[in-house]
Structure 1
Amino acid sequence: MVRILVVGASGSGKTTLARRLAAEMAVPHIELDALQHGPGWTPRPTFVADVTAAVAAPAWVVDGNYSAVQELVWARADTVVWLDLPRWLVEWRVVRRTAGRLVLRRRLWNGNRERWRDVPRADHPIRWSWRKHAEYRVRYAERFATEPAERACVRLRGRAEVAAWSAVEDGVGVEVLGGGHAAP
């Protein structure tokens, strides 16, 4: 495993896991949100070019689900980790994260901050996560079923599975199911 993609709904823990894996592997962590969101939450016009350059590196850990670069990142990944946590847990996490960002006025990518007035918007992470959770379940289940054997696909369905898988150095001890598909 030298090029790992971590996918899942907002609040599933993609960035936390990706950051930890990248640190342990001593490789770059590429957070797609940081490349996508310019000042004032405007989409960065160089997003695709920046992702293309980043995944050209020999080793990395990427987190995110952006359809504009999905095929590009998947084509380079040798391992895809899907955080398929229960919706209640994902929603709890994204609400807790949003509250912390709002109260502490935490600065995010390119100087952006979450704002109270944005919480009711359809594209706010709380609502986005709720809407996308079921869609990602279908999309990633279908994708994992058709992935080539040379790409390890790891579906983690709970906190204990994430902890157990991420504690195993380089995925040793991860049971590989036919076709490159892995489970803890």
Structure 2
Amino acid sequence: MKKIALIGSSGAGKSTLSRELTAMLSIPVYHLDQLNWREGCEEVSREEQIRLQDEIFEKEEWIIDGNYGGTLSKRVEEADTILFFDFPRMLCMTRAAKRVLKYRNTVRPDMAEGCPERFDYEFFKYIWNFPEQKTPHIVKRLRELPSDKRVVHFNKPSDVERFLSTLRKKQAQIK
């Protein structure tokens, strides 16, 4: 695992896992929310998103967390490992609500400076509709990948814990 893409609904835990992975593997992490937003919560153009990600793809190792569908295909093509969070909508909604409360009126660690956390109806609607509107496309895209790609499909938080436990054991054997 040298090039890892974490994808799935907002509130699933992608940023949390990416921080754990970067600490464990010493691979730099790039949060798409930091790259794709500017001061004042203005989203960069799709062209800029592509350019920024292409710069990351040139590196030997990286962890990228974020779901931005417009650049998803290229991310999963470039990654050797794809971690897909396919969690129930209520879990993602609950986690997103907790995040809003925790970081209310401040900038969370994986977001661009100048973009404080706040409640946004459209954002929660996006999370609620994710299973019907986004997941089928993601699953189809992941099935089309070549067999040399490692795809890990998490359906519940215990799947993530099991993955981390296995990874910790492997890391301990290396050391």
1:85 and 2:93 aligned:
no
Q: CA deviation at 1:17?
A: 0.7
- Cα offset for 1:54? 1.1
The RMSD of aligned alpha carbons is 1.8
**3-state DSSP class of the match of 1:65?**
coil
- Of the three residues 59, 67, 85, the one matched with 2:61 is 59
2:97 to 92, 95, 104: 95
Counterpart residue number, 2:8: 8
Q: How does 1:1-184 map to 2 (within 5 A)?
A: 1-45=1-45, 46-102=48-104, 105-107=105-107, 108-115=111-118, 119-120=120-121, 122=122, 124=123, 126-169=124-167
CA contact (8 A) 1:165 1:171 kept: no
Q: Deviations over 1:51-90 (max 9, x none)?
A: 1101211111111111232222112100111011111111
- Stretches of structure 1 lacking an aligned partner (at least 5 in a row): 173-184
Q: Distance in 2 between matches of 1:37 and 1:152?
A: 29
Of all paired residues, the percent bearing the same amino acid is: 24
Q: Distance in 2 between matches of 1:73 and 1:141?
A: 14
Question: Structure 1 pair 153/171, CA: closer, same or farther in 2 (3 Å)?
Answer: farther
Letter in 2 for 1:112: C
Structure 2 segments unaligned to the other structure (5+ residues): 171-175
CA distance in 2 between partners of 1:56 and 1:171 (Å): 30
1:7 and 1:69 mapped to 2: Cα distance?
11
Structure 1 letter corresponding to 2:19? R
Secondary structure class of the residue paired with 1:58: coil
Q: TM-score, normalised by structure 2?
A: 0.86
**Does the 8 Å contact 1:3/1:77 carry over to 2?**
yes
| SS of corresponding position for 2:67 | coil
In structure 2, the CA distance between the partners of 1:115 and 1:97, relative to structure 1 (3 Å rule), is closer
Bigger relative CO (Cα 8 Å, ≥ 6 apart):
2
Q: TM-score, normalised by structure 1?
A: 0.82
Give the Cα separation in 2 of the matches to 1:90 and 1:151: 26
CA offsets, 1:91-127, max 9 Å, x none? 111111112222xx222412211345xx23x2x2x22
Q: How far did 1:171 drift?
A: 9.3
In the alignment, the residues of structure 2 paired with residue 82 and residue 13 of structure 1 have an alpha-carbon distance, to the nearest angstrom, of 10
How many matched pairs? 165
